[in-house]
Every structure is written in C-alpha cells, then in structure tokens.
A and B are shown apart, each in its own frame.
Chain A
Amino acid sequence: MEKQEVKKDQEPIISIKGLYKSFGDKDVLKDINLEISKGENMVVLGRSGSGKSVLIKILVGLLSFDKGTVKVFGKEVDKLSGKDLDALRLRIGFSFQNSALYDSMNVRQNLEFPLTMNKKDVNKGEVKKAVEEVLEAVGLKEKINEMPGDLSGGQRKRIGIARTLILKPEIMLYDEPTSGLDPITSEEINKLINDVQKKYNTTSIIITHDLTCAKETGSRVAMLLDGKFEKIGKFDEVFDPKSSHKDNKEIKSFFDYNFIQ
C-alpha cells in the first residue's frame, strides 16, 4: 500500500480517515484515507466527475460529508463553525477550478477584498504593498486595473492564485490549475506552484488531469478511482510501467493518454 514518509512525531497537517460522501443516492467518495504532512505537494489525479473537487471542498467546510473524520491542522473541520471555521479558512488558500474571480471588481479590488475584509487594522500602504507583492509573484503586474472579463483563462487562474496568496495561507488547494491551458502556460503555472511552495512554504493539494503537472509539482500522487484512492506514492512508483500499468487499466490509459502525444 502507501508508503508513509511522515515522521511519527510529526502530526500530519491534513488527515482524512474513512471519508464517505454521497449526493442523493449517488456515492461519490467511498472510504477515502489520506495523510499529508507539512511541506508536501500532494497531487490528486482522477477522471472527470470522480469527486476530486468535492474532496477539497470538504476540507474547507464548503460541503458536508456523511461519515469519517477530516482533520486539518489537527482540528475536525465538520465540528467547527463561526469564528473557528473562519480562522481555519484563513490559513487555507483555495484556487477554484474556474478561478471564481469577482466579476464586478477589477484585479486590484479582487486582490484587496479578502485582505481588507479580514484584517481591519491594515492601512492603505500595506494593502498596496501586499497587492503588488502577490501580483509580482504571479507575474501579472501590468494587469492591475483590468476587469476579470478582459483576462485570458490562464491569467484568470493566476490572479485567482494571487488572491489566495494575499492572506499568506499555510495550505494551498489547487483545483485543476492547468486544465484548458496550452502547454506553455501550463508550464508557467507549474513553475508558479513550485515557486509558491518555496516562497510561502505551503503544503499543497493539487488536483489535475495533467500528468506533466503531476510530475513536476507533486511530491506524491494519488489516483482517485471509484471514490477511493487506488494508488498513493511517488510519481514514478504509481506510474511505473512495469508494475501498476499491468494490474490497472485506468492508470494505464491515464498514462498513455498524457504521454503518447
């Protein structure tokens, strides 16, 4: 099974045990187990509709679940509410699949919004500095006064990431950061993810279909199949042509699809 490189004395930052989630009579997640320790970049792979987005939405308390325990920073997410939940959410950055930028605000306002709403004591100078810093980090300084509607998909993704960085999160959750982007832009995003991890020292979960992204950004990868993690381990172990491909058609086709081209 999975190889745990977690030191026994160090509590995992994210710990999921026996997680079940269904919508109506459709079971989406069935017995999910996962532990992520500090500084790891965990890549979650899986087919469309396999429940990857649902999984990370559960981590921030956007969705409830049916059974199991989900702990982030040692706290059970479903037991938190109000101020405690907000405090937890401030430590987590969530980059949405479709960026979810606020359409009615320009880039600057999008970035300022989480900061000014949460920290009442910051002054204008500090806000300005923080905005410039995260824009610099995602390399889009010149777009500061544009509206989200005027940005390309890749730029929107990067602004979305910048918006989460402004609160200096300790965990980053990326929902398909490279989907629908050309290889060069994808490459830039992969680099951005790695840079963010180095610069802000984050622990990340990266959801993707894109094996290049998985290979470049992930310290471990997990395959989500039929609501369970089929394989968890280093990229080369999971996609070892000699072993796993043989016993699992899905993993093989995933691999072939990405690398044959």
Chain B
Amino acid sequence: MNSSQRRYLFSKGIDQYFTDVYKAYRFVIRFFKEVIHPPFHFKEIINQCFELGLKSLPLITLTGFVTGIVFTKQSRPSLAEFGATSWLPSLISIAIVRALGSLVTGLICAGKVGSSIGAELGSMKVTEQIDAMEVSAINPFKYLVSTRVLACTITIPILGLYCGFVALMGSYFSVHKNEATSIVSFFHNGFSTITFLDIFSSLAKSIVFGFTIGMIGCYKGYNATNGTQGVGKAANQAVVLAMFLVFIEEVVIVQMANWIRDY
C-alpha cells in the first residue's frame, strides 16, 4: 500500500463530516473568546446593524403585512362555521406572537442576511482581503466576524418584534374591513390571551435565530475556497444551512416553552 495514501478512521466522508463539525465548533468558541476582549469595533457593529438590519426592513414590512392579511383571511371561514369570528383577533395574535413573527423574520433573514454575509466574506477570503488584514496586524475575525454576528444577534430580534407588529396591523386591516372591529378592541382582544412567556420565548427565539444566521454566514464565508465558484457555494450553503437550523431551533424552543408553560 502506498504510504502517502491517507488512512481514515471510518471513511473519507464520515471523517470529513466530523472534521467539519469540529471546525465549526472551534469557530463558535473562537467567537466567544474574541468578543469579550477589546478592541470592540463599536463603529463597525453599528455600521453592520444598519447594513444588515435596516436594509431588510422593506422586505420584512411587506412579508409581515401580507402574512397578517393572508393568515386572517384563511382562518376566517373555519371560525365562521362556528360563528366564532370574534375570536379572530386572539387566534391571530397567538399565532403571530408565538410563531409567525420570529419564524418569518428568521427565514427571511436567513435568506437575505445569510447570503449577503456569506458572499461578502467569501469574496474577501478568496481575493485575499482577509489575509491582507491579517498581515497588517488587524484581527480579521474580530473585525469581520464578531461585528457581523453581534449585529445579527441584535437586529434580528428587533426585526422579529417589528415583523410581529406589522403582521398584526395586516391582520387588523383585514378584520377591520370585514368585522368592523375597532383598533382598541382588536388589540384588547388579541393581547388578552398573550402571556409574558409568549413574548419572552419569541424574543429568545429571535436572538437564537440572529446568532445562528450571523454565525453560519460568517463561517461559510470565512472558510470559502476555490475562487469565485467558492463564493457562490459559500453564500448558497449559508442560506440552506441557516434555514435548516432556524426550523430545528424553532421546534426545540417551542418545545421548551411548552415545558415551562406546563410547569
């Protein structure tokens, strides 16, 4: 057997998988190590909050509003069968606050923010801009990764709350047109069933989504290889993986919230 041939613990694919997982784990650990030590690059964090957060606002507004309207319209016939359309506001509010607001924001940001970070860092990596930072004694991880992950973790929860609000407005728009409910009674009805735990778990979810999306985008971009083709691949993988993890986290956190609720 050729001595230069590599030996694998299991097989090439499985070994590769575990190395990748370990690499990702190291990346996350490095983030926590770097983020607590100065310098902090506050200016760049704020800059990224605007870049990543503010620029997603139009899309979130549109999607949130449409989600609210459509969800209300689709729920109405079922409730009308029992003559219970007056329950619409509370039903919708529960759905939006508990799930839709943060989930819709998470998915949209996984697409928009995840791909933009993946592509940006990926192209910086393959054109040696990251190396250029390193040789001029600037820590690229701190400057590029820490700032973006923090910006995502801060802005995506805010976008999530905003999305929930816009969705409720969309829903009110539909309810007002059909049932002529006033805004006061709509929100009074809606929020009577919402608990603090609902809002808290939804916020916690958004924070986790934001962290995940930032981290995945940065990880994929920072480790891009193979020229321009690698940039596309990094952006693509960032979106797919971030969306996948957002769903997984949604399920896990909902389950945890339910345990606490029952407790």
Contact = CB atoms under 8 A, between A and B. Distances in A.
A binds B: yes
Interface residues of A, number: 26
A102 B123 CA distance: 10
A69 B134 CA distance: 22
B77 to A, nearest CB: 50
8 contacts: A60-B135, A89-B134, A89-B136, A90-B137, A103-B129, A117-B138, A164-B136, A167-B136
B7 to A, nearest CB: 12
A100 B131 contact: yes
Interface string B114-142: 00000010011001110110111110000
B226 interface: no
Contacts of B11: none
Interface in B127-184: 127-129, 131-132, 134-138, 143
A89 B129 contact: no
Interface centre among A90, A100, A103, by most chain B C-beta atoms within 10 angstroms, is: A100
Given A25-B4, A103-B123, A114 B128 contact: no
Contact of A89 (B120, B128, B135): B135
B121 to A, nearest CB: 11
A62 B136 CA distance: 11
A89 B137 contact: yes
Interface size class of B (residues with CB under 8 A): 10 to 19
Contacts of A117: 136-138, 143
A205 to B, nearest CB: 14
Contact of B137 (A24, A25, A103, A118): A118
A24 B5 CA distance: 10
A33 B128 CA distance: 27
Given A87-B137, A113-B138, A118-B137, 17 more contacts: A24-B6, A62-B131, A89-B135, A98-B128, A100-B128, A100-B129, A100-B131, A100-B132, A101-B129, A102-B124, A103-B124, A113-B136, A117-B137, A117-B138, A117-B143, A164-B136, A167-B136
A89 B127 CA distance: 20
Interface string B18-47: 000000000000000000000000000000
Interface of A: 24-25, 57, 60, 62, 86-87, 89-90, 92, 94, 96-98, 100-104, 113-114, 117-118, 163-164, 167
B148 to A, nearest CB: 13
A24 B6 CA distance: 9
A97 B143 CA distance: 23
A164 B136 CA distance: 8
A117 B134 CA distance: 12
A96 B136 contact: no
A57 B130 CA distance: 13
A102 B4 contact: no
A176 to B, nearest CB: 13
A156 B132 CA distance: 14
A62 B123 contact: no
Contacts of B137: 86-87, 89-90, 114, 117-118
Contacts of A97: 128
- The 5 closest A-B CB pairs, nearest first, are A86-B137, A114-B136, A100-B132, A100-B128, A94-B135
Contacts of B135: 60, 62, 89, 92, 94
Contacts of A57: 131
Contacts of A62: 131, 134-135
A114 B129 contact: no
A102 B138 contact: no
B238 to A, nearest CB: 18
A90 B134 CA distance: 10
A166 to B, nearest CB: 9
Nearest to B132: A100
Contacts of B136: 89-90, 94, 113-114, 117-118, 163-164, 167
B131 A96 contact: yes
A219 to B, nearest CB: 24
A246 to B, nearest CB: 35
Contact of B127 (A24, A92, A98): A98
B162 to A, nearest CB: 27
